[in-house]
A and B are shown apart, each in its own frame.
Chain A
């Protein structure tokens, strides 16, 4: 099992969700986050004061998937979230040792 964590543009959430549903990924957790990579911040002047957004709003999406469909999911996320510009985000993968469904104690991939 692999955990996918993807930070994406807020505007791309719907497209990424649809793309994941299409390949059969049903469960995911979505978080409202702020951060920056190389894109850094954004400065506006408002009423004579500098207004800097050094952490840009992003969406973080998490899901744990069976190994077999991870690559397909990564492709789906990347394709749907890509605009080709700085700030498109990143995808991280990590190994997950165990999954447990709290309701019935089911374990392993069956619990996903």
Chain B
């Protein structure tokens, strides 16, 4: 037969058969069958050409063979994938003989419009490992005999490849790992893309292959021969991988046929089409796109998990640095967990029946950035059904969850909990966004992954060297309750899972139910509700003119307190950054920060606006509802307090203050001492008098307490509410419960003039060793007359030290200044104290300001001198 006739025959056969395969797929959706049929079709064409051009014999000629590699070797040829073939010579002598035939053979295939990638090698060349072309060696792992000298192929398959793999196992594995890790990084190390790539994306077919290759290399290295394919993975893993492979094969086949080219992107239109045609899910009831995509993500997640586990288990013998790192990590082992090669194993396999232990496992993971070993994952999966009957809840669950959220690798722990379906067991509200695709031009990830990425963004601030990250990191370090911010981030978009509603409202509803489950206290709930409810507020304000004072005022008043402003600023930063890697431009980061500064200054400079107890206000209404019986007492108490007072305290706090004020007739000094998570809180309610604030600050210093923050407010009737937040440097209160009473009595004693504060302070200073100054802070004193109608603001910035607040407040009292409001803050070794002052009920004149400034500078200088002496 002439080649021209054969070509035309083959072309007809190829077109007809391809068409038939496509139609069969259209009716059955069976990907594997389509790929196998296409493999056989290509084989039959190769065979006809071989007989025509190379050799009429079945297994001839001697010393020359045709081998299938890559996907063709595996027997799954996708409709538009490359067809990898190897012309294998026994040695280089015969090469020239077949050069022309090989050229003709390949040309014929290209003329049929088949995408053939031919390679010619001798047996010796196949045995050579080339670091720059690892792909070829890897492709040999899938080699399969097609035509020609069978015995030659057997030498390649049975001798050359096993020897090569044993010799180069380490380099092969290392190269594979490097290529795979950088490919994963390109896709943000996550499966959860809104429009995923089913071949190269994490959890795609390439990862399936990598998992098989890694398992194969490791088994060959041990057996010194080809292992049986079914022994590569444990049965449960094998099952998961098989199911994922079937699904991914159908999806990729579908995409190739739909697009008419080697296009592996699962775009939105393709998702609708695939879901409607139940591609890969013929037996399921799912027809909606969201449900179908969930199946996709589920399958991709199992492939990704296996691939990642194998990458992590790679022998640590490559670099001494890596070995040291792993060795160091294994030292993390404790009574509960052992750490081997960065993987967590349980010391007591049955311990997981205790839900606390289960949560501790993820806490351990979140703290150290380790992964769970396969056996640990398996054990967790085993205990979940029994846990589902009575899942942990309430304050205990929140304690663990809050702790997990604040650990540096929280996002990874959350992802692992989510993949094992533990997270949705604990917080079923999250089911609504499990692998949820919400179509949006900007978002890159599914809604759940977006939330994890946002949490990760905040944790990474600390290590980042980018200018903006550092500025936001500083802000983050000032937060009192970061766990509430993280919880808000976890839940902020849950409402996207409720169709046809405003997602913010739906998120709030879900958050309420979540917080009920976690038994958060009312003030914690208020913060989380505020953050979720306002999570679009900054973005919408940025669309206005943020240099316009009115825009700033409206925005700042919605924030109420600097703490909330900080949290919302950080939430917005993380939320934008988690949309896609380019979403947070420096331009946007700067705008958000600019708005933060303007609002922060507004809040600190407008705090003395007075409250009128009869005004209508949500917060006031809430307080009235909580204390309906307080009526008149409440009204008298609130009259004249600054608005900031209400923002600073919860309704429960206000109730306590009203009651304390009611007892003043009996005991003129009312104290409330509580221990918070980060510090102690001392609240004082009493009648105002000169040196009051200074005296309390002095007693605290006398006891060696470090004042971190303080507020002081007074109402029209001259009753003050001062709160001091301090750390107990010598653990006096922490370790001795009986000291609490002595501590309170000593404050009362000083305030009633019964104890000598100066003596107490002198003794303390004598006992103190001068601490090392890490950062030198220059003293700075600024007055601002414009920000309040009734008082003068003074801001004192100075090196923080024991007794500083007492010195400043005493100096102000000596200057006959009344402290209307005090806002005390510490940032590292810098004290930032803001006082709203009046003298004789009016603002300070410029002469008075001058005198106060001189006196303060002298006091602060004298303090330094004293300390040096």
Q: Report which A residues bind B (CB closer than 8 A).
A: 9-11, 13-14, 32-34, 42, 44-48, 51, 53, 56-57, 83, 87
Question: Is the Cβ of A46 less than 8 Å from the Cβ of B600?
Answer: yes
Q: Report which B residues bind A (CB closer than 8 A).
A: 542-547, 585, 587-588, 590-591, 594, 597-598, 600-601, 780, 782, 795, 797, 827, 830, 832
Chain B residues, Cβ within 8 Å of A83: 545
Kindly report which residue of chain A lies nearest to residue B598, judged by CB atoms: A44
- 4 smallest CB-CB distances across A and B, nearest first, come from A32-B587, A48-B797, A11-B545, A46-B597
Question: Is the Cβ of A33 less than 8 Å from the Cβ of B601?
Answer: no
Report whether over half of chain B's contact residues are helix, strand or loop; otherwise say mixed. mixed
Select A10's contact among B542, B597, B598, beta carbons within 8 Å.
B542
Chain B residues, Cβ within 8 Å of A33: 587
Complex Cα distance A83/B547, Å?
13
What's the least CB distance linking A87 to chain B, in Å?
Answer: 8
Kindly report which residue of chain B lies nearest to residue A14, judged by CB atoms: B543
Contact A48/B832 with A11-B545, A14-B543 known, Cβ cut-off 8 Å: yes
Chain B residues, Cβ within 8 Å of A56: 547
Max chain A CB contacts within 10 Å: which of B585, B597, B600, B780? B597
Question: Is the Cβ of A45 less than 8 Å from the Cβ of B601?
Answer: yes
Select A53's contact among B545, B594, B832, beta carbons within 8 Å.
B594
Question: Is the Cβ of A44 less than 8 Å from the Cβ of B585?
Answer: no
Complex Cα distance A42/B780, Å?
22
Question: Is the Cβ of B587 less than 8 Å from the Cβ of A57?
Answer: yes
Max chain A CB contacts within 10 Å: which of B545, B588, B797? B545
What's the least CB distance linking A14 to chain B, in Å?
Answer: 7
Chain B residues, Cβ within 8 Å of A51: 597
13 residue pairs of the A-B complex, CB under 8 angstroms, read: A10-B591, A13-B543, A34-B587, A44-B594, A44-B597, A44-B598, A44-B601, A45-B782, A47-B827, A48-B780, A56-B547, A57-B590, A83-B545
Question: Is the Cβ of A46 less than 8 Å from the Cβ of B585?
Answer: no
Given contacts A11-B543, A45-B782, 18 further A-B contacts (CB under 8 A): A9-B545, A10-B543, A10-B545, A10-B591, A11-B544, A11-B546, A14-B543, A32-B588, A33-B587, A34-B587, A44-B594, A44-B598, A44-B601, A46-B600, A46-B601, A47-B832, A48-B830, A48-B832
Kindly report which residue of chain A lies nearest to residue B795, judged by CB atoms: A48
Chain B residues, Cβ within 8 Å of A57: 587, 590-591, 594
Complex Cα distance A32/B582, Å?
13
Chain B residues, Cβ within 8 Å of A13: 543
What's the least CB distance linking B647 to chain A, in Å?
Answer: 20
Chain B residues, Cβ within 8 Å of A45: 601, 782
Kindly report which residue of chain B lies nearest to residue A9, judged by CB atoms: B545
Complex Cα distance A87/B546, Å?
12
Complex Cα distance A9/B547, Å?
10
Complex Cα distance A57/B594, Å?
10
Complex Cα distance A47/B600, Å?
10
What's the least CB distance linking A97 to chain B, in Å?
Answer: 31
What's the least CB distance linking B459 to chain A, in Å?
Answer: 24
Complex Cα distance A13/B587, Å?
15
What's the least CB distance linking B304 to chain A, in Å?
Answer: 35
Chain B residues, Cβ within 8 Å of A11: 543-546
Kindly report which residue of chain A lies nearest to residue B544, judged by CB atoms: A11
Kindly report which residue of chain B lies nearest to residue A45, judged by CB atoms: B601
Chain A residues, Cβ within 8 Å of B795: 48
Kindly report which residue of chain B lies nearest to residue A55, judged by CB atoms: B590
Kindly report which residue of chain B lies nearest to residue A51, judged by CB atoms: B597
What's the least CB distance linking A46 to chain B, in Å?
Answer: 5
Chain A residues, Cβ within 8 Å of B780: 48
Complex Cα distance A57/B543, Å?
12
Complex Cα distance A54/B601, Å?
19
Complex Cα distance A111/B601, Å?
51
Kindly report which residue of chain B lies nearest to residue A59, judged by CB atoms: B587
Chain A residues, Cβ within 8 Å of B546: 11
Chain B residues, Cβ within 8 Å of A53: 590, 594
Kindly report which residue of chain A lies nearest to residue B542, judged by CB atoms: A10
Chain A residues, Cβ within 8 Å of B782: 45
Chain B residues, Cβ within 8 Å of A87: 547
Chain B residues, Cβ within 8 Å of A34: 587, 590
Chain B residues, Cβ within 8 Å of A10: 542-543, 545, 591
Complex Cα distance A88/B585, Å?
23
What's the least CB distance linking A99 to chain B, in Å?
Answer: 26
What's the least CB distance linking B784 to chain A, in Å?
Answer: 9
Chain A residues, Cβ within 8 Å of B591: 10, 57
Complex Cα distance A87/B548, Å?
11
Complex Cα distance A45/B600, Å?
10
Complex Cα distance A78/B688, Å?
58
Kindly report which residue of chain B lies nearest to residue A32, judged by CB atoms: B587
What's the least CB distance linking A83 to chain B, in Å?
Answer: 8
Chain B residues, Cβ within 8 Å of A32: 585, 587-588
